[in-house]
């Protein structure tokens, strides 16, 4: 049996080698499809692992309050300034802090930019360091007396202003002159990443500067050690719903947020993989067409094989193995191309400051090769049956 299997592969290899250009063009569709699928799956897996790791760093005792009951509602709903005090009075809460976010015009050395400005209660700013927010690298942090002071993110000068900017320098924000008193450490997780390129200031001062009403964008809650998070979420939700008169907010722990982020990534990846699957379908059709042409060209050869005793299963096996080899070679090339593309995306993400490393697992490698080979073999079944159905006498007369 082993000898027969080896002989089948040798015959298939010889036939494909004799039609190199056609075989290469046929393989191309498989290469593109497999490359896209491998790249997307490895990037998606890397992104999922990155999101999970980052939320794990933030701890299991953190709760987030968001406006609205869903994505669309959050555009119109809002949290209240008083919600922070209400939450802090809930049993089991260590502290609660609101983040205010808006965009304002900033002028520095004649350059005008619209930048993200974050407002924080200075009494809570030190406590937020546990999730990577507002850890100062140079200078000092904000105090309750700072009405004209700001702190800038580690990449504010490079990414936003594109100028050399540092401590004790001044800039105009919505026409008011503000002084830089601190520069933040680079945030190591995406949740706090917005601070890297933003201005941060006292929330009361931000409200005075802004031309529009600003309400809390998020309220971050830290639970006391040993507190049951699910029970605490219920208590917070009940208190807020009673005060608001309706449930126009979401109370979520970081595990939920992580799962939602993972689901979104998964859905996007699934859609893109589906699109890439079209390339595989095209590749499969290409293999079928190539094999049908091969059947016509080798009709006489098939007749000779049947005349000297080749069985129908044997003829089918030869053509199916040829088609499978086309799929396997295309899969191998697509696998290498996909891994390379995913690596490039990882490098670009790292340069951009995003913690994303593509993950290529043994399961992905074996699955990609097996899948591409299966596509080829399935595409080769019909041409193989056509070849096996040829009558020996008619095949020998075929010109």
If asked whether residues 90 and 233 sit together in one domain, one would say yes
In a domain, 297, yes or no: yes
Which tops the pLDDT comparison, 2 or 364? 364
If asked whether residues 266 and 241 sit together in one domain, one would say no
- The pLDDT tens digits of the residues spanning 234-267 come to 999 999 999 888 888 888 887 776 666 667 767 7
Q: Alpha-carbon torsion 96, 238, 55, 356, what sign? A: negative
In this structure, are strands 111-120 and 199-202 parallel, antiparallel, or unpaired?
parallel
If asked whether residues 94 and 239 sit together in one domain, one would say yes
* Confidence band, pLDDT 50/70/90 cuts, at residue 380: confident
| Helix ranges restricted to H, 299-391 | 299-307, 312-351, 362-388
If asked whether residues 21 and 94 sit together in one domain, one would say no
Domain extent, residue 351, equals 2-55+259-397
If asked whether residues 292 and 379 sit together in one domain, one would say yes
Rounded to whole angstroms, the Cα distance separating 161 from 110 reads 10
Which backbone phi and psi does 181 adopt, to 5 degrees?
Answer: -110, -10
Q: What is the pLDDT of residue 159?
A: 65
Q: What is the pLDDT of residue 126?
A: 77
In a domain, 198, yes or no: yes
If asked whether residues 18 and 141 sit together in one domain, one would say no
pTM of the model: 0.61
If asked whether residues 207 and 93 sit together in one domain, one would say yes
If asked whether residues 130 and 239 sit together in one domain, one would say yes
The residue among 197, 224, 247 that closes a domain is: 247
Indicate the number of domains in the chain.
2
In a domain, 171, yes or no: yes
- The pLDDT tens digits of the residues spanning 133-147 come to 778 888 898 888 888
If asked whether residues 150 and 202 sit together in one domain, one would say yes
If asked whether residues 101 and 241 sit together in one domain, one would say yes
Which tops the pLDDT comparison, 318 or 152? 152
Return all residues near 120 (Cβ < 8 A) that are at least 6 apart: 97, 99, 100, 128, 133, 134, 142, 200, 201, 202, 203
């Amino acid at each position: 049996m082993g000898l027969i299997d080896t002989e089948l592969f040798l015959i298939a290899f010889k036939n494909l080698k004799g039609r190199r250009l056609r075989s290469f063009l046929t393989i191309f569709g498989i290469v593109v499809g497999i490359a896209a699928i491998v790249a997307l799956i490895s990037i998606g897996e890397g992104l999922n692992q990155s999101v999970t790791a980052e939320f794990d760093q933030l701890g299991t005792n953190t709760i987030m309050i968001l406006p609205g009951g869903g994505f669309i509602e959050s555009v119109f709903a809002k949290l209240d300034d008083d919600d922070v005090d209400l939450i802090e009075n809930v049993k089991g809460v260590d502290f609660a802090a609101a983040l205010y976010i808006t965009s304002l015009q900033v002028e520095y050395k004649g350059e005008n930019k619209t930048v993200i400005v974050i407002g924080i209660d200075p009494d809570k700013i030190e406590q937020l360091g546990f999730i990577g927010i507002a850890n100062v690298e140079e200078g000092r942090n904000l105090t309750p007396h700072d009405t004209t002071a700001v702190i800038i993110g580690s990449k504010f000068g490079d990414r936003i202003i594109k100028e050399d900017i540092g401590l004790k320098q001044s800039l105009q924000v919505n026409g008011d002159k503000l002084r830089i008193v601190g520069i933040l450490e680079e945030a190591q997780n995406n949740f706090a990443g917005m601070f890297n390129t933003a201005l941060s200031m006292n929330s009361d001062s931000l409200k005075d500067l802004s031309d529009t009403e600003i309400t809390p964008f998020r309220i971050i809650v830290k639970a006391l050690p040993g507190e049951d998070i699910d029970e605490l979420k219920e208590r917070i939700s009940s208190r807020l719903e009673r005060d608001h008169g309706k449930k126009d907010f979401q109370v979520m722990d970081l595990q939920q947020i992580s799962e939602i982020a993972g689901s979104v990534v998964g859905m996007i990846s699934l859609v893109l993989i589906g699109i890439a699957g079209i390339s595989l379908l095209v590749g499969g059709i290409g293999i079928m067409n190539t094999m049908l042409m091969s059947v016509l060209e080798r009709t006489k050869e098939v007749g000779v094989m049947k005349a000297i005793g080749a069985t129908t299963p044997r003829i089918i096996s030869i053509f199916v193995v040829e088609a499978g080899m086309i799929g396997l070679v295309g899969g191998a090339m697509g696998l290498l191309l996909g891994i390379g593309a995913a690596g490039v995306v990882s490098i670009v993400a790292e340069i951009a400051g995003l913690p994303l490393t593509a993950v290529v697992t043994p399961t992905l490698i074996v699955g990609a090769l097996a899948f591409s080979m299966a596509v080829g073999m399935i595409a080769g079944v019909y041409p193989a049956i056509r070849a096996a159905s040829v009558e020996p006498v008619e095949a020998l007369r075929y010109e």
